[in-house]
Structure 1
Amino acid sequence: MAGIGNAWSDEILHRAKLTPFVAANKVDTIQVGALYQAVQEVLAEVREALANVPLERIKATKKSLFSVHDRAGQVCPVCGATVAEVSYVDRSMQYCPSCQTGGKKLSDRRMDRLLK
């Protein structure tokens, strides 16, 4: 979604338990509801958490709110699995294979090319 940003989109998809690669035309009604609820919850929590934070503390406070974003290799706070990452040319996304992809680790094309 435009305007959400990479960090919060990682968090929203994690909360909604949706794979980052789900095609918009393949999302069912239940998933749309979960996505809508996750957008509302995550952005409300962020707004509340950052409301009175001094400018010099915003970055650290924001990072403390992440469950999966920027946490590749660390433990998912929801299920205990290892947070994974898919990298692109100029960005990356983090997700929990257990919570979001049924335990399947998504292909990282940049690393796949190096391993061939």
Structure 2
Amino acid sequence: MPEAPEVEALASFLRERLLRRTVTGVELVEGRALKTRGRPLDELIGRDVSGVTRHGKHLDIDFEGVHLGLGFGRAGWATWDEGAVAERPDDAPVAAVIARLMFDDAVLGVTDAGDWLSVQLHVVDAADDVPSVAKLGPDAADPAYSRAMLAEALGGRRKQLKALLQEQETLAGIGNAYSDEILFAARLSPSAHASALTDDEITRLWNALHDTMTAAVIARLGVPIAEQKAAKVAAMRVHGRTGEPCPDCGGVVEDIPGTKGGGQWCPSCQGAD
């Protein structure tokens, strides 16, 4: 799943290439992905791109006041063809094309590589007209997100930390992978409850969140769209590393109990809840 760092890199990539370009054609391959049935993609034809912004894990493209909201979900992503079509790595999964936006000399594609459709498209008048964007909490990758804001979000909630970090209404932009990485850096158990954290542990969590997201955003910028997933996977220290040695203590990275292999941690470094 693309999270804030990858979507921020995509937004930056598209800002450099799309601004002031005019949509010459559209194609909706998978009709179920368009959630605003009364507003077809055809509304975009003839309009110039005037802005590209990220909202949590969502992308918004502004076409002179008509917005296309993209929610990538679990397995969605984008492609960019300009001139020669980039080669696909032999081991890369074939992603289903969901939609295409055509420009004079380029095509922006939206794809989904999952077993079930997760991409969502919305044609709206403003970015926060998309329901999932309207309810987003503060952005996890925002340098202005403070320790005090995190402490307030944690409050007295008896919710496990991994689940809370992925709760978009509380903190936008973090998904399965970066929640594992943040908790590993903070040396906190993913199953620990927010309400049980000490002041020192809240500080550690905030530092880990800030450092992990900042480093990831910087690292993903400039990476070609087609290589974003591989770059993210390669940067993971514990997520997706089941059975491998912990990079810090040499212990064994394990699946987080109850996640069915979807999350990983180092029990030696992160202790017990």
TM range (shorter): 0.7 to 0.9
Return the match for 1:35 from 170, 185, 205: 205
Listed as ranges, the matches of 1:70-109 within 5 Å are: 70-86=240-256, 88=258, 92-101=262-271
How many correspondences in the alignment?
A: 103
Return the match for 1:16 from 154, 168, 186: 186
Higher Cα Rg: structure 1 or 2?
Answer: 2
Q: Deviations over 1:20-60 (max 9, x none)?
A: 11111100000000000000000011001100000011011
Residues in 1 aligned to 2:179 and 2:259: alpha-carbon distance in whole angstroms: 18
Return the match for 2:224 from 54, 70, 86: 54
Give the superposed CA RMSD.
1.8
Q: Which runs of 5 or more residues in structure 1 are unaligned?
A: 107-116
Q: Deviations over 1:84-103 (max 9, x none)?
A: 002547762100011101xx
- The 1:80/1:37 distance shift into structure 2, 3 A limit, reads same
Counting strand residues as a fraction of each chain, which structure ranks higher? Answer: 2
Counterpart of 2:232 in 1: which secondary structure?
helix
Sequence identity percentage: 35
Counting helix residues as a fraction of each chain, which structure ranks higher? Answer: 1
- The 1:87/1:25 distance shift into structure 2, 3 A limit, reads closer
- The 1:43/1:57 distance shift into structure 2, 3 A limit, reads same
Q: Which runs of 5 or more residues in structure 2 are unaligned?
A: 1-164
Counterpart of 2:255 in 1: which secondary structure?
strand
Q: CA deviation at 1:79?
A: 1.0
